[in-house]
Every structure is written in C-alpha cells, then in structure tokens.
Amino acid sequence: MTTDNDVQDAAELRDAMVRELRDQGAIRSEAVAAAVATVPRHVFTPGETLQTAYAPDHAPLVKAGPNGGRHLSVVSAAHLQATMLEAAEIEPGMRVIEYGSGGYNAALAAELVGKRGHVTTVDIDPDIVARARTFLDEAGYHHVNVMLGDAEQGVPGADPFDRVIGTAGFWDIPPAWLEQLADDGRIVVPLRFKGTTRWIVFDRGRSGLVSRAYGLCSFVPVQGAGSHTERTITIDNGVMVCLDDESLSVDAEALRRALHLPRIERWSDAVFDMPDEQMLFLLTNDPDMALLYADQTIVDQELLAPSTLKGVPVLISGDSFAYRAARPNADMSSGYESGVYAHGPAAENLAARYAELLRRWADKHHRRGAASIRYIPKPSDPPAPSPGVVAKRHGTVVVTWP
C-alpha cells in the first residue's frame, strides 16, 4: 500500500534525480526536466527500492531468458533516457512512436507531446506489452497507445511520425521506419555496427539519413525479424574476436599461435585521449578491424592487456594481430600516450599500420568534433569493404570525420 510519505519521498527523489541529471549534462531543457520531475519512475520499476528506482544510472532488469539467460528487457537508465529525449527534441503536438516498451520512457514522451500529441509504444513480447499497459494506466497515462508488434514491420496503416525512437539495440534500420517518418521527422536509435552500439540522432538528408549527434551506449538486442546474431570467433580459451557485421576472414588457429608468441610494443608519440571516439575512428578506418575480448584469466597470465577485458579494436591480418595500448607520458596533454601491442610473424608491419592510424587520429581529428554518420538505404550495388563503410541488411552506414 502506498502511503502519503511514500509519495512525498518519491517526489523528493525525482527532484534530486533531475538535479543530478542536470549536473551530468543529460538534462538540458526545461521540458525534459519537467517530464522527469513528473513521471513516477518507481511505478514502472516494481521490486526496486525508491532509492534505486531514482538512481540515474541504474537500469532495472524486467525480463531475462530461461534459466537466468541474457537480458530480454530492462528499464533503461534515466541518464540515457534523458540524453536521448533531449536529442530527439520532442515538441508539443508531435506524433511519437517508440519501439521497445518499458512504459516509463513512453510516459516521458507523453509529457513532452502534451495533450495535442500522440505516443505509441510497440513491443514484440506480450508480457512486456501487458506490463507497460498496466503501469502506464497506474501512472495515469491511459492515452498512450501500447501495441504488440515487430519493430521490423513498423505500424501498418499509421500516419507519419514526427519522431521514431528505438529503445533496444538495433543492427539495422527497418525500411518501415523511413516509410513512416514525416518529411521533417527524426529517428533516434541505438545502432550497432563494428561491434559497438551508439545512440544516433538521424534527420533526413538528400540520399538517406544524416546524424546530428551520437553517443556510446548499451541496450538489450532487438528481437524479431530484425534480430542479428553477432559473428564471434574463439581464438583460445578466454579469448574471442567479435566481427559483428564484418566479412573479415579470420584464421583462429593461426591467431592462437600468435597469441602465445612474445608480443612487441610500439609507441606512436600520439596522445591517448577521448578513447571512445578514438575507438570509433579506429574501427571505421580500416576494414580489417574487429574487437578483441579476453577474460580475467588471460589478463592474469599476461597474455593480453587489461584493455581487452571490455573490448579493444584489433587489427587482424592472416597469422598476426595488433591492438591498442596506452602508457603514462607526462609530455602528453592527457598524461597518456597511444601505442600498439602486436603478436605474430607480421607483428612489426601490423604495429606500424596501427600506429599510423593513431597518429592520424591525433593529428587530424583529435578535438575537432564528432564524426558524421550517414545511413543510405540499400543501393542496387552494395559497396565493397572500405574505410568508413559498413554494409547492413537494408542499407549502408558511412562514417566520415571532419
């Protein structure tokens, strides 16, 4: 039973969360601040304490696969939701559709569109749809339309939407989204490419979609017809290469032998800074790049560096590989220098190739702003693998730098 004290405590915690999200830069507008201060997030996170419900970086689990398997649905962290809603720039009277329902984000969108607007939230899982409907009603958002459906199909027969928002990790952009997007509409989607996921704000351009902003993020993968199984290759016990959407050929046995050869270190005289942006630059500027992961046992054996625990860009060629390193250097603005660890018979050549990319990043792109990410609907002739080009099922992602 909810008491008056609970209601008061929740209101105070919402206000505190708004202040913290402002301090973090996730909330920048009064409209989003008012929405976050109004929607009772705890209603959508049963089983959580009020304190954890209103923790800005906490993402409560909603549903997992059988036997505690992979996460199928979560309530995204408030920090990420606020950031994406700010990027969406939702205005009163707009028509908004969300793919991936939790209820809370749809309620925030309903606050932003106001009484003249309309919000639809869609999910492929009947349990999640029922849950969202129940909690939206409980919180007073009876007017939000909750639908069972596959994001890949869109909403047949619906009028164009001003904003299309994805709240799951999408490997591609469904053609239905483009067909149902208003001429001046905007798509905000967590898009996975080159083994990482970034939320990207897309506006229409002359030949497809053009990014306005993006940021590193993590979402549960989308289900249904648009789902995608990542291509991963085990190199050794506890060592894996994630190729995702790559056509890169990998000789796992040759790389396993290389792993157990002594590594070489080569340093670039280039600053190590803005690692997330540097990672995107590295992954999209050589078609032979993938992501290298290792577990703690491998790191403890000093076979690979700790950076591999969370994934690091790796350059692969035949029987050799090289990956990003960093070391303290007081002469660098960040206090760290970029470098390369390389293994295998071609270690020297790969290290030189990798170090040149690090120097290009530092010389031409460091602190000059974000990349431009374009999405071009599938052309008649798919492009060959090349720097900055990532082929998808329905189109092509093209990443360029200023």
Radius of gyration of the chain (CA): 23
Where on the phi/psi map is residue 100: left (φ > 0), alpha (ψ -120 to 50), or beta?
Answer: left
Catalytic residues: 76
**Amino acid identity at 57:** D
First to last CA, the chain: 56
DSSP 8-state symbol, 1: -
Q: What is the DSSP string of 172-210?
A: S--HHHHHTEEEEEEEEEEEEETTEEEEEEEEE-SSSEE
Place of tokens 């792109």: 365
Burial of 59 (0-12, 13-18, 19+ CB in 10 A): buried
From 119, 122, 201, 200, select the one nearest 154 (Cα to Cα).
122
Beta strands in 47-105 (DSSP E): 61-64, 71-74, 95-99
- 289 and 194 in contact (C-beta within 8 Å)? yes
